[in-house]
Chain A
Amino acid sequence: MMTNHAPRFWRSIPQRYNLSGTHCTCCNEYFFPPRNLCPNCRRGAHLEEYTFKGTGTIITHTTIYNATEDFERLTPYNLAIIQLDEGPKITGQIVSSSAGVKIGMRVRPVFRILGKEGDKGIIYYGTKFAPLLEQSCAEEK
């Protein structure tokens, strides 16, 4: 329960807002969230910062009807594991009707409110994903 507590889950975590991670130039694997140690190269790694394009593909998904107290007001909502185009997989909500979410679907990141600590508490922001439609591709151009 996040409500009525000190903001334990708030940190200065820029990766929540801009999908920046790390890239190991030794093994060429990309990591999100950024890792301090490359699990392939460990101490032999050379890690550099990397900002992901954000586009990716849905590997698997679900629609949640029964959530923890913090997310109960959102039900039903879609959750998916998305593989970013550079390789790493992440968990995120999909902003779409549940019927519209499919394995293999292409998605793009959108910036959204994720939660609130009551009326007077901190508002959590972060990344959700939306279907990458041809129309939205056109808008981006």
Chain B
Amino acid sequence: MRSVSIIGVGCTKFGERWDVSLRDMIAEAGVMAIGDAEITGEQIDALYVGNMSGGRFIEQEHIGALIADCAGLSRLHVPSTRVEAACASGGLALRQAVLAVASGYSDIVIAAGVEKMTDVSTGTAADALAAAADREWECFFGATFPALYAMMAKLHMRRYGTTEEQMAQVAVKNHHHACMNPIAQYHMEITIDDVLKSPLVADPLHVLDCSPISDGAAAVVLAPTEMARRFSEEPIKIVGSAQASDTLALHDRRDLTTLDATVHAGRSAFTQAGIEPRAVDVAEVHDCFTIGEILAIEDLGFVEKGQGGKATQDGMTALSGCLPVNTSGGLKACGHPVGATGIKQAYEIVLQLRGKAGKRQVDDAQVGLAHNVGGSGGTALVHIFTR
């Protein structure tokens, strides 16, 4: 297997992008990434794109061919593949691209992600997202996505003493980070009180515990590490790429306060990278709901099980803490265009490791991690990056 590096990145502004289409966004992100890598269309061997539900959101499937077409690559007939793993579609696209390069089959490969979610009503969007859960044995009985995470939160609170204030702190921190990120959906500081006084969605989760509905696209360009310096002065190595699955339905899991898919993908990625969790300087984790970030930092081994809430309260994961988490603003405040999220995480980590993250820069960041979850934990992807 060959070592793989990122040689270019691009990401659109996230948010309610009523003035642009999915096609506009993917072209914008793709052109940025290709420009950053200084490659030409002729050099691209393959494209992978993460997209959860073009069919439900914009009534458009066949996103693979569409993005190749929008990127101006149709006359080059570049193979282009759409992959789907619900909210982990972007992370999965990155992994497919890594495998293509690592295997030696392809040299220059683009991994992209895109979602256009705001063209439908909130109810339709919620229903499309609910398709990531078990439609027949969860949604049929009235489960919603916030409800599934709320049930994890409820049990976590009961077992470990995690508080609503600790969960709210995740949102407060991520909104603070987002204020320093030009592409973030929200540039708005919030307080713990704001979170706790916002309407309940599914007890104990309030509106401000939940990631928003968003539009956005992101792209990264991969190359074999041995070739990377030809294209980029500051290539970023992908030293771990792992994926794991678990039961589709939350109720079938071994433990309702652990995402075993995250545990397994994390261990596998750390083994590949040959490092321990404490070596990580900056991490983007899947905070679709505030409890999600607390579970993630536990399941990835950054803190012991049950200590995620307290660690957040103590400031460990703040920009000034020992492990800054979600410097982009996370899904919560940077926005969560589901197919794009996993690629945006890689984009943020690359900026951090290049030292180009502006006001939210983590000092001397050498090792970064991206963690992307599909559904309530049926899929997890973990990637580890180094300079």
Contacts and interface: CB of A to CB of B under 8 A. Distances in A.
B203 A63 contact: yes
A61 B140 contact: no
A138 B144 CA distance: 35
A60 B256 contact: yes
Contacts of A128: 141
B141 A93 contact: yes
Interface string B138-181: 11111110110011101100100000000000000000000000
Contacts of B252: 88-89
Contact of B142 (A61, A103, A114): A114
Contact of A67 (B136, B142, B150): B142
Interface string A71-96: 11010010111000000111111000
B130 A61 contact: no
Contact of A62 (B130, B140, B158, B202): B202
Nearest to A70: B127
A11 to B, nearest CB: 8
B249 A91 contact: yes
Interface size class of B (residues with CB under 8 A): 35 or more
Given A65-B201, A81-B250, A81-B256, A60 B155 contact: yes
A81 B130 contact: no
Contacts of A91: 137-138, 141, 143, 249-251
A98 B203 CA distance: 10
Contact of B144 (A68, A103, A126): A68
B152 A60 contact: yes
A104 B144 CA distance: 22
A17 interface: no
Nearest to A127: B141
B126 interface: yes
A64 interface: yes
Contact of B146 (A59, A60, A66): A66
A114 B200 contact: no
B203 A62 contact: yes
B141 A92 contact: yes
Contacts of A72: 123
Contacts of B142: 64, 67, 71, 74, 77, 79, 93, 114
A67 B256 contact: no
Given A79-B143, A81-B256, A91-B251, A62 B154 contact: yes
A64 B205 CA distance: 10
B160 to A, nearest CB: 13
A115 B130 CA distance: 16
14 contacts: A59-B256, A60-B154, A61-B154, A62-B151, A62-B203, A63-B203, A64-B202, A65-B200, A65-B202, A65-B203, A67-B142, A68-B123, A69-B123, A126-B141
Given A64-B142, A65-B203, 19 more contacts: A1-B123, A1-B127, A13-B136, A60-B155, A61-B151, A62-B150, A62-B203, A62-B204, A64-B144, A65-B202, A66-B202, A68-B144, A69-B127, A70-B127, A79-B142, A81-B250, A90-B137, A92-B141, A103-B155
Interface of B: 123-124, 126-127, 130, 135-144, 146-147, 150-152, 154-155, 158, 199-205, 249-252, 256
